[in-house]
Structure formats: C-alpha cells, structure tokens
Amino acid sequence: MCENFTDDSCGECKSCHLIKSNSHPDIKVLDLTVDEDGTKKATIGVEAIRSLKKDVYLKPFYGKRKIYILENAELMTVEAQNSLLKVFEEPPEYAVIILVCSNINKILSTIISRAVNLRFDALKPAEILQFTEKNYSDFNNKKVISEICGGSIKKAVELIEDEAGLELRSKVLKAFFYLLLAESDTAINELAEILVQNKSINAEIISMLSNYLSDLAKVKSGHKELIMNLDFLNEIIRNSESMDINSIYEMQNELAEFNEYILRNANYKLVVIDKLIALHELSKKKG
C-alpha cells in the first residue's frame, strides 16, 4: 500500500501515515462476530458476508488495492463460506482478502484450494515478554502474561488491557487451589458459581484449569522452571505436595471431557458440579 514501496514500506508517505493511524480507507480489519450495536455472535452468518461482498466490488478509495483482514474466519457458517467462495473464484484484481483463523479444519476445502495458506507458529514466551516490556512497561505481571497467553501477542494484549479478565483468572485459580486441597467442599460451590456465571467463556476457564494442572505435573516431575502460572507458584507447590502424579493426569482427562459433556447435556450446572466433584475426589489421592 506504500506509495514509495521498494523492498519495504517507506513509513513517510500519506498512505503509510494513514496505515499507522489505523485510518486508511482501503484497509479494513473486520470481526464480523460483533454487530454494529456491539452484540457478540457465536458465528459469522451469510448476511454479514453478503454485506462484505458489496464493499469488495467497490473500487479502492485511495490506494491501488483494497485489503480485508477477516478475523475469526473459522466461525463462518457453511452458507457464509459458500457465499464468500464466489469472490474467491472471481476476485476483483485490486482486492486482497486475508482470512485469519485458529482452526483451518473449519474452512471449506473449496476456499483453501483457492487461497495461499500461511501458517504461523506460536511465539515463544521470551518473544512475548520482549513485546510487553517494550509496549507495556508499567504493567507488573508481564512475565506471567508471556507464559499464559498461548504464544499470541493479541491474547497477551487482551489480558493486559482486560482488568476484569485478570481478576476472573485470579478467582478461578484461587478456587481451584482450594478445591485441590480437598479440605472442604466449599471451593466446589465457589468454582461452580464462577463457571455458571461465565458460561459463555467456559472453554477459556477450563483451559485455565488445565494449564494449572499442567503446572502441577511439571512441579511434581521436578521442572518447576517450566510452569506458566508463575504468580501462583506457592499454591502450585502446596497442591503438588499432596497429590499423586497419576491423579493429576486423570484430572486432565476429566477436564478434556468437560466441553463434550456440556454439549451432550442440557443441564449445564449439573454437568459443572458433577465434574468438579470428580476433580475434588481425585485430589484426595495423596502422593
């Protein structure tokens, strides 16, 4: 898009300045799971893609190209993907459409065959830490964020800028710590309440619990330096002292079944309590 492009963008032309300020009229980053009123949807429907197609066939306003970056592309319904396929088959010569997805298996083969596929490996924690130190120098838990963001700068930024999300993580892991101590049943109710109140992000919460168990296994096997949840190191060590390594693996299997059970059972709260009780019982197997 640079007006003086050779091997790289110049950073000085009008187009480069528009890009830096996120105001270039011919570059559009789209999350079609969010409606104009801010409502979040589980999928990208055919109407959203039809609206996108109308814009694609309008010629560039300023540059020689129009670039569309479509986030969460794997959430497109089959109908939406089939609608987009027509653009992929006969695209305007100026249009560049970039589909960003975390699960290419959900993209139709007819689209994949007409696209250039680029795979990006997760970044290493040290690379994430370098980014956060440069851009969020005042944030205190940069090391923790670099470990728990799954190698994604986007996720790291979301965690840093979402205080409520970090507070939720802290509440989840504290409740899980007490559940694993197996000293009382109170933590079961507390963690169940958190899961019920945050049903829309249950997969994310289950991932937090799974990562915590992974840290337990690392400490138990003598690899404390590899844990992700560094701010919960003391709690992880305390839990590991009273737990058997095989129980930890069994608990991981229980968590792996969690989402599958939820999909099969309409009574969400019942499934949550049932699984948490199972985890609580497994934690009583002393090491």
Q: Do 185 and 96 fall into the same domain?
A: no
Domain presence at residue 130:
no
Over the stretch 209-237, which tens digit does the pLDDT of each residue have?
999 999 999 999 999 888 999 999 999 99
Distance CA 121, CA 21 (A): 28
Q: What's the number of domains the chain is made of?
A: 2
Domain presence at residue 207:
yes
Q: Do 107 and 201 fall into the same domain?
A: no
Q: Do 103 and 44 fall into the same domain?
A: yes
Domain that holds residue 94: 14-112
Distance CA 282, CA 267 (A): 23
H helix runs in 42-124, sequence order: 46-56, 78-89, 109-112
CATH number at residue 108: 3.40.50.300
CATH number at residue 273: 1.20.272
User: Which domain-ending residue is among 96, 112, 128?
Assistant: 112
Residues contacting 89, CB < 8 A, separation 6+: 114
Do 43 and 75 touch, CB atoms closer than 8 A? Answer: yes
Domain presence at residue 71:
yes
- Residue with tokens 């109308």, as numbered in its chain: 54
Phi, psi (rounded to 5 degrees) for 56? -60, -35
State pTM to two decimals.
Answer: 0.65
| Residue closest to 248 by CA, chosen among 287, 203, 274, 222 | 287
Per DSSP, the residues of 173-219 read: HHHHHHHHHTS-SHHHHHHHHHHHHTGGGHHHHHHHHHHHHHHHHHH
User: Which domain-ending residue is among 73, 97, 112?
Assistant: 112
Over the stretch 145-201, which tens digit does the pLDDT of each residue have?
998 888 889 889 988 988 888 899 999 999 999 999 877 678 899 999 999 898 878
Domain presence at residue 8:
no
